Structures are given as structure tokens and as C-alpha cells.
Structure 1
Amino acid sequence: MTTALPDYLEPLGDGLYAIDTGFQRPRFDAAYLMTEAGRACFIDTGTNHAVPRLLGALEALGLPRDAVDYVIPTHVHLDHAGGAGLLMQSLPAARLVVHPRGARHLVDPRMLYAGALAVYGQAEMERSYGRLVGADAARVDASEDGMVLSLAGRPLRLIDTPGHARHHHCVWDERTRGWFTGDTFGLSYREFDLPGRAPWILPTSTPVQFEPEAMRQSIERMMAEQPQCMYLTHYGRVGDTPALAAELLLQLDAMVAIGEAHRTAPDRHEALKAALRRLYAERLQAGGRRGDEAALSLLDLDVELNAQGLAVWLDRPAPRSTP
């Protein structure tokens, strides 16, 4: 008799599972569990509130907690890594592998919490994230560009992928020829899926380290591997990668143009939000999808955060030229 998996655990084949972390709404935020020859790793963790689901996934698959060798947040934003410290307390054999720019923030998350608090406010922090738990520094490893981890002989290659955040790396799984992309390869919500069409996707400029040229370079670097799929945190595995990359780069250019056009606009934040909503409505309709208010309401959080991210980018001092 086969025991049914919990409804938040989606088998993807090749020892991979997507875990719906329950953040914000169903199928909005994923963590991934990779299994190989009785060993396991998590890629992204969701928030503290997701930890019971991650541990429940191990239990549902008959894996002991000491079978987990690695926990790999793609970056340290809280919807990706907020639960990492708490999760590590239950995984005695795991190493926490973090981008070198983010590692210290998972050991001592006070600055990370303060930064998120400034964006979201106290009530939202308590509701969505909870109190952050620091990881044991002795169990934290900083990644290096091009480093390869072995999960029971299955290679996982990590590369530096700035653009969304400077503390971002992505993970290449040669077995499935897919990237675990965090937020560097954008967001694709399953509510917008249409039969026979490529998924719809949009870039994310969430504050505070959006860098459009770096994001373009990171997307192009990932596409150079000719990936068959991408494993997005928001949300799930997607194919049609050339079409998605083209759409991302088109929208990335449009976001830059929107930012420049509204650099000195009165009430700039609202102007940026309105322009982003128009962009998303146009791109949804270009793909044969609804771009009405009901559809755009699914993007309210992204519109808000992307407008904030564009503003931070616009206000960042230009780099000084070297004589």
C-alpha cells in the first residue's frame, strides 16, 4: 500500500520534489528537496513557518533527518532563506551553503531582519516570517563561483548570479539540465498558465540590490548551458527556457526605460507602480492572457516591490570612473 504524499509535496521526477512553503498563497513560494541514493539536500527553505513542511517532506519520503547533506539558499531574502537557521537545528549532518556576501547574515540575522522590517513593517514580519534564528557558524560554508558539491555522486554546480541581489547564486543540476534560479530568472505564477503556450514570466527588482545589466549577464550565463528547465522559487519547474529568457530580457529593458522616464516624476513611487502595471497588462495580453484588474491583482505585491527596487536603483550613485 502506497502512502499518499502530503498535498504540499510535488514529485518532479529524478529524485526532485517541489515543496509549497505556504507563503502568501498556494503555489507562490517553493523550496526544493533533491534526493539521491538515500541522501538529500534542500535548495531554498522558505520562511520559519515552512520548516514543518520541509521536515514533513523528509518524513513522507522515509528519509531520516541526518540524511540531509546540504541546505542551499539561493540568496538570503527571507522568502528563500528565512527558515534556514531554524531548519538547520533539525538536520544534524547538514552544511549550510550560502553566497559569501550572505553567509554572515544567516549566522547573525539582525541586520537581515532590520532590513526586511523597514520594507514590510512589524505586523507583516510577525505574520509572514517570525523571529529569525541564526545558524551555527561552524556549519556554514561560503560558496565560490563554479564550485561543485556532490550529493551521493550527483554533481551540483553553483555560480554567482547577481542582478536581483549581490548575494545570489544559482545551482545547476546536470542530471535534469536545469537551474535552481531563486529570483535571478524571474517569477512565473501558475495561475497564468495556458495550454500549449510557454509560461508567462516577469523579472523581479525587489529592493535593494537590483542591477539590470548584471541581471542580463546572469540570465545569459545560465542560458549558455542550454537548460531544459528552470526550477523557480516563484513558482515551480518551467520549460520553454529560450522563450522565457527572451521575455525576461524584453521586460528588463522596459523596466529600465520606465525607471528612466519617471526618475524625477512627482509622486514617483505611484508613477512607477502605474507604469509597471501597464507593462504587465501589455505583456500578458501579448501572450494571449487576460490583463484585466482581476489578473493584475495577483501581481500587486510584485508591483509594489518592483517599484521600490527601481527607486533604489535610480537613486544609487553612479560608479566613479577610474582615471
Structure 2
Amino acid sequence: MTATQGIHTIDTGFVRPRFDAAYLIVERGRGAFIDCGTNYAVPRMLAALDNAGLAPADVDWLILTHVHLDHAGGAGELVARLPNAKLVVHPRGARHMIDPAKLWAGASAVYGESVMESTYGRLRPVPVERVVEAPDGHVVDLAGRALHCLDTPGHAKHHLAVHDVRSNTCFTGDVFGLSYRDFDTANGPFVLPTTSPVQFDPVALHASIRRLVALDPTAMHLTHYGRVEGVARLADDLHTQIDAMVAIAHAAHGKPDRHAAMAEALTDLYAERAVAHGWTRGREALVALLSMDIELNAQGLEVWLDRPTGDA
């Protein structure tokens, strides 16, 4: 676990090392978690407290960027172990934390009950009196440290980002893309958007990225994975790729092998950009690291194409 300006990065252990991060912010002996991983990450979250010199009773907040299970699946179990903490969540996500039955049912329909149990663990409800809805502009007070919650749709309608005024950094969940440390080169971090199902909206995603960049933050803290700098360059990369991914979706639309065509074109896009970024490990290694993200991005683009709103 690393710490800068009272910000501790926690590897939740989901999927592989340095894949899924949560964060602990410490201010004057009080703590706030941002995202929490799955149920299986709870011991790591509590160990992070101990390493930071805090007890569970010293945590005031658990803030969720959104309720996808790799970010929020362990919220109920973690809150149960934090006697003074409130859960802060986007208004659209609050009901899923209070009653996660629909969240569980939807994911189980895709992955199956046994995979859900082994991957995430059974979801535990959060008592309604411990849930705080955070509309756009909501400010979380952590011992005088202001954490501004910003409505940032595009990846999910229930997505918020957190601007930590003290450090002038943002906790971006998935709205500022994915940047795995495996792809770092002398040119800095490599980034790609995530369009995973089911609420990808390219117009909203562009706007959310622009909104965060307008804050002129010194760094972004991504769930996948860690702190990244060079924000303006990364934002430009994201904008370019969002447009390229939309073009890939349109080009594949109507093909009988649409999904396969999208996945192959996405792989080509990321491989070409990785080479241009100075990454030398080759296409096979890239696919090994990004296969799940490529699959989810293709699925998300398909859902977006089929949405009956005229977007496609």
C-alpha cells in the first residue's frame, strides 16, 4: 500500500495484482474509503486501516464511484465492520446498495450463481439509515477536508467522481478509463476507455472527461489502476479512442459476426496504440492482459448500438 498526501492505494486483489484499486484518504485521524472491491477485499481494506494507524471506528465514509461489483460488491460487508461510517453513493445507485437483489439477479443471469459466489461473494444490504445520496455538487466533509462529488455519466448513469480539493486530484472510478501499470513506458501511462455494459454513452463520456480536466487536477486516481499524471495527454487519448470505438461499432453493425468483428477491431486499435506508446511486449501479451476488457468493451458497444434511442 502506497500513500501520498494522506491517500493510500489499496490493491483489492480482484482478478490479478494491480488490476483493481480502492483508496483510503486519511485526514487528522479520520478516514474515508473510495470504492471497496468485492467481499473478498474486506480483509485488505481493514489491513489498510491498520497500516495507516486507524481503527475501523475512525472511518467516517465509504464513497462509491458507482455500483458495479468490482467497485462496490463488498460495500455491505465493509460497512458492517465500520461502526461509524456512512455510505455515499450516486442517487441512482443508492437503492441497489439498500436492496442488492436486482443487482445480484442481473449479474447472476449473465455469469451464473456459482461464478458470482466465487468471484464476488453474496451481496449484503446496507442499512438505509447509513446511506447518503450524493447528487452533483455534494460535498463530503472528512475532518475538514472537502471531497466534492461530481455527476459523471458515460460509463454508467450512476457514476460519480470525487475531487479531493486538498490534493487537487480526482478519484475517477471508470469514467477516466483504464490504465494498467503493465503498459507504462518511458512515455508514461497508457490509457483506454471502458464501454462495458450496459450504459455506455459516448457523448456523456466525452463531457464527463472534459469536466474533470477543467478542474486542472495534478493527477487522477483510477480504480483500474492507481494514480496517473499527465492528465491532459491522457484525456486527449481517451477522446480519440472513444471516437475510434464508436466508429468500430458502426462499421460492425449489421454484420452476422458483429461481436467478433468488434473484438478484433478493438484489439487492433489497442495494439497499434500500445506500439506507438513504446510498448514492446507484443500482441499476444496485450491480449492476455486486456482480453476481459476487450470482451466487455465489445459487449458495451453492442448494447449501445441496440439501444432504442437513436444513438446508433
TM-score range, shorter chain: over 0.9
Ranges in structure 2 where 5+ consecutive residues have no aligned partner: none
Of 103, 108, 114, which aligns to 2:105? 114
What is the match of residue 273 of structure 2?
283
The answer to whether the aligner puts 1:154 opposite 2:158 as a matched pair is: no
Question: Which residue does 1:242 correspond to in 2?
Answer: 232
Aligned to 2:159: 168
Look up the equivalent residue of 2:269 and give its one-letter code: L
Counterpart for residue 196 of structure 2: 206
- Once residues 61 and 250 of structure 1 are traced to their aligned partners in structure 2, the CA distance between those partners, rounded to angstroms, is 39
Deviations for 1:198-219, whole angstroms, at most 9, x for unmatched residues?
A: 2000000010000011000000
Cα-Cα RMSD = 1.1
SS at match of 2:10: strand
Match of 2:60 in 1: 69
Q: Counterparts of 1:51 and 1:102 in 2: how far apart (Å)?
A: 21
- Name the structure 1 match of 2:51: 60
1:184 to 138, 151, 175: 175
Match status 1:21 vs 2:12: yes
From 86, 106, 115, give the equivalent of 2:77: 86
User: Larger deviation: 53-62 or 75-84?
Assistant: 53-62
| 2:250 is the counterpart of 1:252 | no
Q: Distance in 2 between matches of 1:253 and 1:286?
A: 18
TM-score (norm 1): 0.94
- What fraction of aligned residue pairs are identical, expressed as a percent? 57
Distance 2:138 2:271 in 1: 40
Q: TM-score if structure 2 supplies the norm length?
A: 0.97
Once the two structures are overlaid, the 10-residue window that deviates more, 263-272 or 161-170, is 263-272
Secondary structure in structure 1 of the residue aligned to 2:220:
strand
Query: How far apart are the structure 2 equivalents of 1:267 and 1:110?
Result: 34
Stretch deviating more after TM superposition (109-118 or 226-235): 109-118
Gaps of 5+ in 1: 1-8
Moved over 3 A (4+): none
Shift of 1:319: 5.3
Q: How many pairs does the alignment contain?
A: 310
Tell me by how many angstroms 1:119 deviates: 3.1
Whether the 8 Å CA contact 1:82–1:132 is kept in 2: the answer is: yes
Distance 2:198 2:73 in 1: 17
Give 2:222's aligned amino acid. L
Asked if residue 221 in structure 1 is aligned to residue 221 in structure 2, the reply is no
Supply the distance in 1 between the matched residues of 2:310 and 2:5 (Cα, whole angstroms): 45
